[in-house]
A and B are shown apart, each in its own frame.
Chain A
Amino acid sequence: MNNIWTLLPIVFVLTGSLLVLLLEVFIQRETKDYLGFVSLMFLVLSGAACVTFWNKGYSYFNGDLFLDKLALFLSLLFIIGTALIILISMKYLSLQNTNYGEYYSLLLFALIGTLIMVSSTDLIIIFLGLEVLSMSSYALAGLKRNDEKSGEAALKYFLLGSFASAFLIYGIAFLYGTSKSTEIFSIIDHFQAVSSQSILVIAGFGLLIIGFGFKIAVVPFHMWTPDVYQGSPTPITAFFSVLPKAAGFAVLLRLFGPYFGQITQSQNIFMVLWFLSVLTMVAGNLLALRQKNIKRLLAYSSIAHAGYLMIAVLAKSHYSLVFYLTVYLFMNIGAFSAVIALSKKDKEYLQLKDYAGIGFRYPWIGATLSIFLLSLAGFPPTGGFLAKFYVFSEAVSQDLVPLVVIGVLASLISVFYYLRVIVYMYMREPSTPFEIDTNNAPLVLVLFICLYGVIQLGIYPGNVLLFIKQAVASLPF
């Protein structure tokens, strides 16, 4: 049962990040991109390990850390995501004078946190994984040391993040107190055995929801999101918008799937999540309408997407949640890559008015960004449409019709602000034309990979969907 190979994907990433930290000392400031290639190499090894373990079902530490198919699929997804982020970072870092070697190392540490989170069902191990992710994220947010906004972003992220962690661990303490265990399935079994739920259980789940709500940025726990997204280095913003959120939802899937499925008195918690989902979709989309900064706009859009993902949790539809996360990774990283493409030495163009006329001066950037935004809005034939379609249709089959109606209306609002960026790009005269640094091959590669991902998942999702259905079939409920 215990198989030490379970640790292999994590060990590869860990080796990579320690090696980067070691090599960092010997490499000149101008050539730090080599460290990016070193990290990519270890990511490939780790990804290959995930692929070869697909049918093995390894576990270690007496089952506390295991690689079921869901863990492997999500790990692979996160590794791909991190690889894309590293590719878009290389040029950006030297342009923005942020090329420190620690960058890649911290990014890999953050990845390890997410890998731990998705491959355990013990709340304490999940908490430790979350902390590994969060600590690295706080440092990454503040890595632009000469930029006051970056420092402010790191500070806000750190304060609210550690505040949320305290809620999370206190919630785990309550669940441990009532069920004598921190393992999700023993907790659920315990609640099944006892007929009534004490106030401690409700408080425990409530605190847990607050803690995770901060991490996955659902309204009303979203206050930090726009500021942190705006202040952090842009590739890191792309990282924040995808990986921590996806890992958080993976944990919610493991926790609330059996809880809603087997416990009859879970109605209170269900209603709480229902209201959070509605609030998140409505408030996220409405607040996005008045944003003038593209990073803040995408921040609010990512909040709104957390609302749609919450519908999938409530509908107990695992495959649509994982499919949504897959599409979301490609379309969001793609959109941020296009934003990164509009930069030059020591300057980024982030205001909406800077996008005027981009569609004609830089047709490739304009076209790809438009496709990613249309996918985020949910237009066919992109992946964003199918992802929303699966989530909403699964929710309808679970009799969550009011939720779906609100979701559809909220995504109608979202069309307005996504299209506004496109209107700026193609229908406004540029006020002051500017030159951008176009010599950035890795970023072009990422744009094409993400474009391929979004289109492929939108037109022919069959084979990916097959893997996802296999992955969620490994869940024991």
Chain B
Amino acid sequence: MIPTAYFLVLSAVLFVMGTVGFLVKKDLITQFMCVEVMLNAANLAFIAFAHSASSLNGQIIVFFIITVAAAEAAVGLAIILLVYKQRKTVKSEDISLMKG
């Protein structure tokens, strides 16, 4: 059996990758995908903890998070589309009407 710590390390790596990707990438779609990676890192952590404690709660929570991620994708992609229609760009550095 694979130790729980392995899963946790993998989930931490995924989470950090998502965070760094969000901060360094300039493309809105990529940034959005990085957030999805972070949510999935949390999913993996929940499943690993649930498995090690043999409690079902954590596994059920994962379904809620998947639902939230789906809803987030629906709203988020619509907003990115709106901005693309207004500006004809999906680069985050071009979207800076407001500053200060």
Contact = CB atoms under 8 A, between A and B. Distances in A.
Q: Do A and B bind each other?
A: yes
Given A154-B79, A155-B80, A180 B72 contact: no
A155 B83 contact: yes
Interface stretch (A144-152, A240-248, A301-309, A373-381): A144-152
Q: Which of A138, A166, A167, A296 has the most CB atoms of chain B within a 10 A radius of its CB? A: A166
Interface in B57-85: 57-58, 61, 64-65, 68, 71-72, 75-76, 78-80, 82-83
A166 B39 contact: yes
Contacts of A172: 42
Contact of A152 (B31, B49, B95): B95
Contact of A138 (B41, B76, B92): B76
A348 interface: no
Contacts of A158: 75-76, 79
Contacts of B64: 124, 128
Contact of B97 (A131, A142, A148): A148
Nearest to A169: B42
Report which residue of A128, A163, A169, A174 has the largest number of chain B beta carbons within 10 angstroms of its beta carbon.
Answer: A169
A456 interface: no
A352 to B, nearest CB: 13
Contacts of B78: 139
A128 B61 CA distance: 10
A349 interface: no
Interface in A116-133: 124, 127-128, 131
Given A148-B86, A155-B83, A226 B100 contact: yes
Given A135-B75, A151-B82, A226 B98 contact: yes
A142 B82 contact: yes
B83 A176 contact: no
A169 B22 CA distance: 17
Contacts of B76: 138, 158-159, 162
Contact of A155 (B22, B38, B79): B79
A148, A226, A231: most-surrounded residue (chain B CB, <10 A): A148
A135 to B, nearest CB: 5
> Interface residue tally of chain B, by bracket?
35 or more
A79 to B, nearest CB: 24
Interface in B1-37: 8, 15, 18, 22, 28, 31-32, 35
A180 B71 CA distance: 27
Contacts of A177: 8, 45, 48-49, 52-53
Contacts of A124: 61, 64
A66 B15 CA distance: 33
B72 to A, nearest CB: 5
Contacts of B31: 159
Interface in A176-193: 176-177, 180-182
Contact of B83 (A135, A151, A227): A151
B57 A152 contact: no
A173 interface: yes
Q: How large is the interface on A (under 10, 10 to 19, 20 to 34, 35 or more residues)?
A: 35 or more
Contact of A128 (B46, B68, B86, B95): B68
B46 A173 contact: yes
B82 A231 contact: no
Contacts of A166: 15, 18, 35, 38-39, 41-42
A173 B49 contact: yes
Nearest to A290: B100
A230 interface: yes
Contacts of B57: 176, 180-182
B100 A291 contact: yes
Contacts of B61: 124, 176, 182
Contacts of A181: 57
A176 B79 contact: no
Nearest to B98: A227
Contacts of A138: 75-76, 79
A226 B78 CA distance: 23
In the A-B complex, the 9 residue pairs with the smallest Cβ-Cβ separation, listed nearest first, are A166-B38, A177-B49, A173-B45, A169-B42, A227-B98, A170-B42, A162-B35, A151-B83, A154-B79
30 contacts: A128-B68, A135-B72, A138-B75, A138-B79, A139-B78, A148-B97, A151-B79, A151-B82, A151-B83, A151-B86, A151-B87, A153-B98, A154-B82, A155-B28, A155-B79, A155-B83, A159-B31, A162-B35, A166-B38, A166-B39, A167-B38, A170-B38, A170-B45, A176-B57, A177-B8, A177-B45, A177-B49, A180-B53, A182-B61, A227-B98
Given A159-B32, A180-B53, 13 more contacts: A131-B68, A135-B71, A139-B75, A152-B83, A154-B79, A159-B92, A165-B39, A166-B38, A166-B42, A170-B41, A170-B45, A182-B57, A226-B98
Interface of B: 8, 15, 18, 22, 28, 31-32, 35, 38-39, 41-42, 45-46, 48-49, 52-53, 55, 57-58, 61, 64-65, 68, 71-72, 75-76, 78-80, 82-83, 86-87, 92, 95-100
